[in-house]
Amino acid sequence: MITKRFSLSLLVALLCTFCFGQKVILLTKQNGVYTIPCSINGVKRSLVFDTGATTVTISMQLAELLYRQGKLSDSDIKGYGRSQTASGHIVDNMAIVLKDIEISGLHLKNVDAVVIEGQNVPLLLGLSAIQKLGKVTLQGNRLIIDSSILPNSLLAGIRSQIESHIENGEYNAAIASLKRIESQDAMEERDVFNLALCYCYSKDYNKALMYCQQWMGTYKETTPSHEPDVCYFMGLSYMGLKSHYDADTWFAKAIRLISIDAVERTSREDANTLSYYYNQKAVNYLEGNAYENSVEAFDIATQYRMRYLGVNAEDLCAGRIKDERIGIWLYSISKMQAVYLHNDAKSERYAILAALCGNQEAIEFCEHFKLDYSPRL
């Protein structure tokens, strides 16, 4: 009976503390203010929960402790200034970024904070900071955080963080935030586009295709500027699923949407994009054993890359182009000519051009077979 009663009490406590996406944190009232237990960069402290504060404030004493323990570095210091306290006094401060504030198992990352000198400086946690965790409700000494609900004011910040994740190649982190937006029925065109991108580059190709198709069905007419990239993602996804015919179809469509002009009439920006598209088209042909098509696509990719760089074939032969991508593509052609197409003359010619670009494999090949790869001036 005692065991059953204890289990029931524990269950009720758990339901009261964390249920239906809500986290309930019990605040402690001291000297007329509520405090909340936190961990600041791994150091446990109690912060005053201040609904009127717009930021997080810590004391110089705590900042120095974090610095000594290696939990605050010079790179976390953003600058110096002056601010007004709740009592109206103007004080000097230091702006920093706290990498992590943990509140009852929930984490605030990269939090802007202010360090203020003084012996009796209160450690403040502002409402605007904790709202980043979700919708916040205060009922007496109960702080209720519904992490399943995102206030509209935070969506812009989350989307900015998503773009940063994508730029750094952190696709799974971006997906987690995008799925959180999706759960709010707050998806916009860029969100669907980014989900297609992230699933594609994280190699979850079926999900990438699902969001590509969702984008095509919803935003194709209203945001045509993204259509070439979505077609490209579909090509990459079908290629990852070994459906080379479908991949080639979507790569070809992406290319047509960018430009149908001759290489010399294509803008340099478009030429850069097309060089990537043709490179992937060439790799798809190579994986599908269509070697002649792969050679042609690598050759076109090289032409567009040179257009983007503002150079020409004369510069290539003269050894004035030292470009890693062109070197790789030319040497790929050389290897296919030798191994699959059995054309040794063309293989040697492309190996020499690749060596002139500085491709190390091509240089070793030329030296091994005593091929002259000196510049043709």
For 163-167, 260-264, 307-311, 315-319, which range has the lowest pLDDT when averaged over its residues? 260-264
Pick the residue with more confidence: 88 or 81? 81
Check whether 295 has a pLDDT greater than 80. Answer: yes
**Burial (CB count within 10 angstroms: exposed 0-12, middle 13-18, buried 19+), residue 65:** middle
Share of the chain above pLDDT 70, in %: 87
Residue whose pair of structure tokens reads 């403040």 in the numeric block:
124
Q: What is the mean pLDDT of the chain?
A: 86
Q: Determine the average pLDDT of the residues in 276-300.
A: 97
| Terminal Cα-to-Cα distance of the chain (whole angstroms) | 96
Write out the two tokens for 135: 């919708």
Entry pTM? 0.65
What pLDDT score was predicted for residue 108? 80
Q: Which alpha helices (H) appear in 184-267, and where do they start and end?
A: 189-201, 205-219, 227-240, 244-258
* CA dist., res. 363 & res. 1, Å (int): 82
| Helix, strand, coil percentages, rounded to 5, for the chain | 55, 20, 25
Identity of the residue numbered 95: A
For 128-137, 170-179, 223-232, which range has the lowest pLDDT when averaged over its residues? 128-137
pLDDT tens readout for residues 214-245: 999 999 999 999 999 999 999 999 999 999 99
* CA dist., res. 103 & res. 186, Å (int): 26
